[in-house]
Structure 1
Amino acid sequence: MEEMWVERIAETTNWEPLRLELPWNSMEEDLGTALPADYKKLAETFGTGEFSEFMRVLSVDATRQFDLTHIWHTYLDTSPEEGPDPVLKPYQVYRPGRRGLIPWAFAEMECSYFWLASAEEDPATWPIVTRGNPYPWHEVSMSTSEFVYRVLADPEFEPFSIARLMPEPDFYPIGPVS
């Protein structure tokens, strides 16, 4: 079912799937948890890049600019070990063995997208947590790929959708193909 959303994103953006093989084992070992399967399929299909000049989904990136574990470590290094993070309040950064946020995408208008992750839960059930300037935090219960699709193509998906502003979604690769 979730693979369907990745296929819909590719179709909507006129993208030919790359079918990359990415080093998920080392990434998941570093994080101390598995990642959602549909997110991995999305990264393998598109590689590193930007959707509709708006959303950049993190993945494995040799430049580290869009590398999920590098960005997560940046949050981890600046976040208090206990209690809410002042930048992420009322949430905290994910740490192995605890529940917290793992960043998976960024967008224009200071939008940030995270999973509320726990190694004890199935990654397919992690809610998406997002906020954007000036919007407050929102929790959304859906898969990563469905969320991306709806941001790009569903004008009723408020306050997240860019479909009215960018009625023809596209994808631009950034940097070398991993």
Structure 2
Amino acid sequence: MPWGETEERLGLALPEDYKRLAATFGMGLFSEFLQILSVAPGGAFDLSTTWQSLGADAPAEGEDPLYAPYRIYRPGQVGLIPWGFSQTEGEYYWLADGGEPDKWPIVTRGRGYREWRQVDMSTSEFVYRVVADPQFKPFSIAALVPEPFFTRVPESTFRA
């Protein structure tokens, strides 16, 4: 996948683990539940397009009431970069701090845990545990979908 333009827009590199995950699976849903953003210029699930749209109305400084105590990432600042979402209003971000991307924590909120939660693990481990680890509460769907699966969806389906 051509990550160069996306990373150029962001002004930083994305986690290698995430890029491998997106390249391996492509566009689709994990267990009909979790969708990761990717490179799909003009598409509804393009990472840089989603990031730009979330930050378009954000205040230039201080807390953003929609994401407090965080804010959407802007180059040179600490902030949230979206990387995925779930079918139950789950939102998944990295807390980008300008440091090593593979060490950024994941920050999430969703139905059932409206307050922000931060976890320190790779994107692929988080995705795996959501779909396969029933002990990964409150994020896991493993009890509802005992056999994890991936459904590839044609990229044209995700066009805006």
Same fold, judged at TM 0.5 (above): yes
Measured in 1, the distance between the counterparts of 2:146 and 2:132 equals 7
- Corresponding position of 2:130: 151
Instruction: Please state how far the C-alpha of 1:126 moved relative to its aligned partner.
Output: 0.3
Q: SS state of the match for residue 134, structure 2? A: coil
Deviations 1:58-88 (A, max 9, x none): 0011451110000000011021111111111
What stretches of structure 1 of length at least 5 have no aligned partner? 1-21
Residue 3 of structure 2 aligns to which amino acid in structure 1?
W
CA 1:45 to 1:96, structure 2 compared with 1: closer, same or farther past 3 Å? same
Match of 1:168 among 147, 153, 157: 147
| Count of equivalent residues | 155
Q: Is the 8 A contact 1:58 1:68 kept in 2?
A: yes
Whether 1:91 and 2:73 are equivalent positions in the alignment is no
Whether 1:47 and 2:26 are equivalent positions in the alignment is yes
Give the structure-1-normalised TM-score: 0.84
Match of 1:127 among 105, 109, 126: 105
Measured in 2, the distance between the counterparts of 1:64 and 1:25 equals 17
Q: SS state of the match for residue 131, structure 1? A: strand
Q: SS state of the match for residue 88, structure 1? A: coil
- Corresponding position of 2:91: 112
What stretches of structure 2 of length at least 5 have no aligned partner? none
Residue 103 of structure 1 aligns to which amino acid in structure 2?
P
Give the structure-2-normalised TM-score: 0.93
- Corresponding position of 2:82: 103
Measured in 2, the distance between the counterparts of 1:79 and 1:176 equals 29
Residue 129 of structure 1 aligns to which amino acid in structure 2?
V
Measured in 2, the distance between the counterparts of 1:176 and 1:108 equals 18
Q: Is the 8 A contact 2:108 2:117 kept in 1?
A: yes
Deviations 1:35-55 (A, max 9, x none): 000000001001111111110
**Percent of aligned pairs sharing the same letter:** 55
